[in-house]
Chains A and B, each alone.
Chain A
Amino acid sequence: MKKTKISPRQLMILTSGFSFGTVILFLPSSITKLAGPDAWLSILLGTAIGLLFIWIFAKLGELNPDKTFVEIIQLYLGKLAGGFVAVFLILSVLVVADQSVWYMSDFVHTAFAYTLPTLPLNVFFIAVLVFALLCGVETMYRTTEMIFYFGFSFLIILTLMLIPKMEPENLLPIMENGVTPVLKGSIPFLFNCAWPLVFLNMVYPVCFENVKEAKRALFKGYLLGALCNLIIVAVCVLVMGSSLIANLRFPMFITSEEVDLLVIFSRIEAMTFFIWVCVSFISVFSYAYAGVYGLAKLLKMKDYKILVLPMGLLLAVYSLNIYTNTSYQIKWDSTVWPLLSFTLGFILPILLLILSYIRKIMGKNSS
């Protein structure tokens, strides 16, 4: 396979986009549900805990600088068991990618009265995804770099425009019920923003010449993504109040509807929508790429691109009934997804890291 090259800067932007991409739409509500007005503290705490996992992911990559995650799994767990785990990983990743497509169409149907049925919308979205996958990971990451300017500057502009609507009392009282809600609130951050970053090990560190720089970029990107999450959650809570945010389905979207500044700056939710679709595309792409590329590596194929079109067709069909309805989605996301994320982003990397150290020690002893 041709060696693709990504600059550390691109990885940084990708990591941040990946960690706040899809989830910015509903992360504030899932955190505030648990932590109340202390949601921003939860994010700070979650970021600090998450750094440990980023370190694990980076270390895992550093120990095997020329292997992707799927290859590392097979290396340490053996061909058969490793193969099973890899298949599990690939399937989960593709399911997660498909869920994002479902979110998108669900959001569009909920927020705007679209007459278009779900399937064409999904096919449309997946067509762009397939196109991006065919263009390759380098192209996509360059695009990510460009999107980043829009996304980040928009976030700042949105925050600035919402300042008149902010009420600091909404953050008070701080830690009314002790530390427990804050701790609880950091869990959704971890399983939405920190643990999924393990899938970036599909590109890190294989695509880099300088692993050290890439590692630094990984951390920077994670912190940047956490900062974005912090800003979003804080703005949502400041503007709308935690009890309202906790019960909204798309808090970020509803909050941006509040912008009403100097007559012309009002109703900018279309911009929010635009940015959200673009940024969430970063994470959808990363999931889908991890899935397809991992599958190609597992099957020892020369090029993953031949798998893209069939996978796109499967995703398009599956995206229709991946969740039967919204309540099912909420239930799945709050019960199954944390465990799945925990397994793939917590247990698996730690297991692999321990195995790698054992192997190292054994290798030293035998020699």
Chain B
Amino acid sequence: MSYIGSIFRRLLFFEEPKKQEQFTLKSPGQAQQGSENQSNNQPGKQSNNQSGNRPDGSLGLTNAKAVTKPNKMPAEAKPISISKPQKEQKQSPKVSKQPDEISDDINVNLEYMKNRFSIPLNCDIILREFSINYKNKLIPAFIMFFDGMTDRAIINGFILKPLMVNSIMDVKESEYNLQDFILKQLLPHNQITLESTYSKAIDKINFGSCALFADGLCVSFTADVKGWEHRGVEKPNNEIVIRGPQEGFNELLRTNTAQIRKRVKDENLIVDDIAVGKVSKTPCSMLYIKNVANESLVGEVRRRLESLNVDYMLDSGILEQLIEDSTIYPSPQMISTERPDYVSEMLVLGKVVIIVSGSPNVLVVPVTAYELMHSAEDIYVRYPYANLLRAVRYFALFLALLLPGIYIAIVNYHHEMIPTDLLIAIEAAREKVPFPSIIELLLMEISFELIREAGVRVPGPIGPTLGIIGALILGQASVAANIVSPILIIIVAVAGIGSFALPNYSLAYSIRILRFGFIILGSIAGFLGITLGLFMIGVWSTSVKSFGVPFVAPYGPRTSTKSKNTFFRAPEWKLEFRPDYLDTKKKTRQDKYSMGWKPGNGNNRG
């Protein structure tokens, strides 16, 4: 209730949400500094500074960095207080050093790790004890990893085998101490990091790493050996295009970032990992092109991601709801897509992309109202076709949003608006219907929504049955039984098809909600109601911002019209400017005359 109250208060008295003010006042640099204090609670933040420690690395893209930055390690050995483990630390009596620091006594470590992972109780954690031969001494050690999340062949061949077998070999340069000996001579794996705290090592284990503890060392070696089962790169299920790439995102973070990187092919593309979720520490990647994207936008996205105080972050759908500007505004305020090519296009424009590990839906911010009507295909098909498609889509939007409302307004109040013959046809069809037209319309709309929802939930084999029920029983029989008029069925069907033609599925949801609003407005107050409803949506839309960008940006407020991909799009060679509401560092994205071969275009003029 207090939440509704706060929304109401915000609507009534317009208490400025504090975060927005901060966004305008704070420069991104300050925002980063301010969050540095908090970052101790979020180990993921530190992994930004130290790129070798990235929490995810299933494809091993960052392998080189792990070795090249060992000098950062001592800095990390400072005591780091983490609230959660501290409590548990008090329960274990053997700890002599700082609470979270890894002890050099292997028994203490073993006891602690067993305690943390509830070893006898937890069945999928594997603890393997063995010993390493170092200068003719047997040093006890153990490794820990989760079964099923890790690749067994790698653990066997590149971690256990060298440690147990190769350590017997005589090493000539024996000035290496034990730590360097293991790191530089024994472990041939490509992503090894040193952790000096339990909590970090545990985080790594939780996300598919294998941790090695050895006696006499107050560090733990963690090797990234993720090897869980996952979906491959498949066709996007829900965003199908005829022209263009057919690859979609899957649930792996690094596969997704690689899909984008292989398209953009720009070293300035920054993949910035931020852990979200106090417990789950889900890696989320924030992608932007360094010399294009606006810094304050990047800073704002980072600030919002870092400020989240949730325990678990499971999907980008949850993240979207946590970082969006307006909760009750119906339309989505960011694009959620599963197409890497579309995301790359947005990145090139200067937007920021957020990928959540484990979610095939990738978020793109900020977004404006007209961009929700763009499809990924628009830039691939030729200029005339693309604009035809756009026009069809706007018409679909109009039909989906207003057609039932206009129908009810005309039938109830504005008989003179339609040709007399049509009016007679409508009235003749309605003659035997016992209900008022609003009941009739709501009945059909609700049954249509039912079919729609049932169509998603229905198990595959009985899917066709639903069509039969929907088409035959609801359509034919209800007309035959004089419950609804046939014209009304046409209205509802056209409005339904209209909402399916919208390229953004979240937008279609909002249109469905608003359609009911317009039906009610039309039945209460005719065209006046519809007009006022539209007006109110207009005012509402202009008041909403998506990450600091006004939602109907190039038209209200009117800014420059240099970006020619708004309602309709210009030919590809005319799309020289990035959208100016993004305030990108580079204003243009291609030269003035990008077609060098055309003599009239004057290649040297550009």
Contacts and interface: CB of A to CB of B under 8 A. Distances in A.
B558 A116 contact: no
A311 B402 CA distance: 32
Contacts of A273: 527-528, 531
Interface in A291-314: 303, 305-306, 309
Contacts of B414: 112, 270
Contacts of B418: 267
B532 A128 contact: yes
Interface in A89-145: 104, 108, 112-116, 120-121, 124-125, 128, 131-132, 134-136, 139-140, 142-143, 145
Given A147-B538, A270-B417, A7 B558 contact: yes
B528 A10 contact: no
A121 B529 CA distance: 9
B531 A277 contact: yes
B550 A142 contact: yes
A142 B557 contact: yes
Interface class of chain A by DSSP: helix
Contacts of B526: 108, 112, 114
B556 A134 contact: no
A324 B540 CA distance: 34
Interface string B541-553: 0110000001010
B146 interface: no
A9 interface: yes
Contacts of B550: 142
A132 B539 contact: yes
A145 B557 contact: yes
Contacts, number: 109
B13 interface: yes
Given A9-B558, A145-B556, A145-B558, A121 B539 contact: no
B12 interface: yes
A306 B13 contact: yes
A146 B531 contact: no
A357 interface: no
A146 B529 CA distance: 19
Given A7-B558, A121-B525, A124-B529, A135 B12 contact: no
A196 B13 CA distance: 29
A281 interface: yes
B229 interface: no
A332 interface: no
B3 interface: no
A128 B535 contact: yes
Contact of A267 (B417, B524, B538): B417
B525 A114 contact: yes
A55 interface: no
A128 B536 contact: yes
B555 interface: yes
Interface string B146-165: 00000000000000000000
B456 interface: no
B515 to A, nearest CB: 18
Interface in B416-431: 416-419
Given A7-B557, A145-B555, A139 B531 contact: no
Nearest to B21: A2
B593 interface: no
Interface class of chain B by DSSP: helix
A100 B556 CA distance: 25
Given A121-B528, A273-B527, A309-B12, A135 B539 contact: yes
Nearest to B521: A124
B597 interface: no
Nearest to A2: B16
A230 interface: no
A188 to B, nearest CB: 27
A149 interface: yes
Contacts of A121: 525, 528
B543 A139 contact: yes
B539 A143 contact: yes
Nearest to B538: A143
B527 A139 contact: no
**Chain A: number of interface residues, binned into ranges:** 35 or more
Contacts of B12: 134, 305, 309
A277 B542 contact: no
Contacts of A88: none
A274 interface: yes
A266 B417 CA distance: 9
B535 A281 contact: yes
A158 interface: no
A79 B534 CA distance: 43
Nearest to B410: A270
Contact of A131 (B413, B527, B539): B539
Interface string A144-156: 0111010000000
Interface string B286-305: 00000000000000000000
Interface string A263-274: 000110110011
Interface in B1-26: 11-14, 16
Nearest to B544: A139
B542 A146 contact: yes
Nearest to A139: B543
- Pick from A112, A115, A305 the residue with the most CB of B within 10 Å: A112
B519 to A, nearest CB: 16
A72 interface: no
A116 B524 contact: yes
A278 interface: yes
A113 B535 contact: no
Nearest to B551: A142
A277 B529 CA distance: 10
Contact of B14 (A136, A146, A281): A136
A145 B529 CA distance: 22
A146 B537 CA distance: 12
A149 B531 contact: no
Interface in A233-285: 266-267, 269-270, 273-274, 277-278, 281
A135 B530 CA distance: 20
A134 to B, nearest CB: 6
Nearest to A145: B556
Contacts of A149: 555
Contacts of A140: 539, 542
A104 B536 CA distance: 16
Given A142-B552, A274-B527, A124 B532 contact: yes
A114 B555 contact: no
A273 B528 CA distance: 8
Contacts of B538: 143, 146-147
Contacts of A305: 12-14
A132 B532 CA distance: 11
A114 B524 CA distance: 9
A113 B524 CA distance: 13
A115 to B, nearest CB: 8
10 contacts: A7-B558, A114-B525, A121-B525, A139-B539, A145-B555, A145-B558, A278-B531, A303-B13, A305-B13, A306-B13
Given A112-B527, A132-B536, A135-B539, 11 more contacts: A114-B528, A116-B525, A128-B535, A134-B13, A135-B540, A139-B542, A142-B557, A145-B555, A146-B538, A146-B552, A273-B531
10 A-B pairs with least C-beta separation: A142-B556, A142-B542, A139-B543, A146-B556, A135-B543, A277-B531, A145-B556, A143-B542, A142-B557, A139-B542
Interface of B: 11-14, 16, 413-414, 416-419, 524-532, 534-536, 538-540, 542-543, 550, 552, 555-558
